[in-house]
Amino acid sequence: MNNKKTHIYFVPGLAADKEIFENISLPENLYTLHIISWLIPSKKETIAQYAKRMAGFVTEKNAVLVGVSFGGVVAQEMNSFLKLKKLIIISSIKTKHELPTKFKIAKNLRFYKLIPTRLFLTSKNYSRFALGPISKKKFKLYQDYLHIRDKRYLDWAIKNMLCWNQENPLPGVYHIHGDSDPVFPIKNIDNAIKIAGGSHIMLLTKGSLVSREIVNIISHN
């Protein structure tokens, strides 16, 4: 009988840190969890170069990699440098074609070059652009989990989220997505495991359901 635990590495969403996973609960006798914190990108660093650095934190063989939102994009880039047991993305996209129209327009207009990116973390108007209609309670919840305030990181991350040029889905990637996600609407998403009523922050609001789907994916060969 093989009692060896599966190591799961998590990459948080844009500007978030380990707290975003506080409602994810997986059997401790089966899994060891690791949270990969964001690095500050170097000047003109490509997303592939950045992903290679992030991949260096995955030190266990045959691991599972889970990325959330922009962390899902980075996780898919990290996949090129790793031999994984499973690759899972949550509340994210698999290709540039799954981006909503407003983000495609923002990319074409180079919107990311025109605004103070820190306003995405502090202004409800900018958050509404990213998250859709949002209540004061959800806006406070959203802010409470965004700890990475470095301007170089924010500029780089927002640009690379909007300008990610992935044409086709990676083979074997698993996608968990809320059917009420206002950031990446489900109508644009193909081949995902749907969480009923799941928003973009369903990791916090529906952690038990997301946890169950993660276990289901890992346990099925």
Q: What is the pLDDT of residue 28?
A: 95
Could you state, in order of their start, the residue ranges of all structural domains in the chain? Answer: 6-219
Contact status, residue 220 vs residue 157, Cβ threshold 8 Å: no
Supply 83's token pair: 């031999």
CB contact at 8 A, 53 and 78: no
Q: In this predicted structure, what is the pLDDT of residue 118?
A: 59
Q: For domain 6-219, give the CATH number.
A: 3.40.50.1820
Residue 176: in which H helix or E strand, if any? strand 173-178
pLDDT at 126: 47
- Distance of alpha carbon 91 from the chain centroid: 6
Question: For 180, how many CA atoms within 13 A lie in the half-sphere containing its CB?
Answer: 12
pLDDT averaged over 10-residue windows placed end to end, the chain, 221 residues: 83 89 96 96 95 98 96 98 98 97 87 65 52 59 69 90 96 97 95 95 94 96 68
The pLDDT value given to residue 4: 87
pLDDT at res. 110? 82
Beta-bridge partners for 68: 90
CB-based contact 189:177 (threshold 8 Å)? yes
For position 111, what pLDDT does the model report? 74
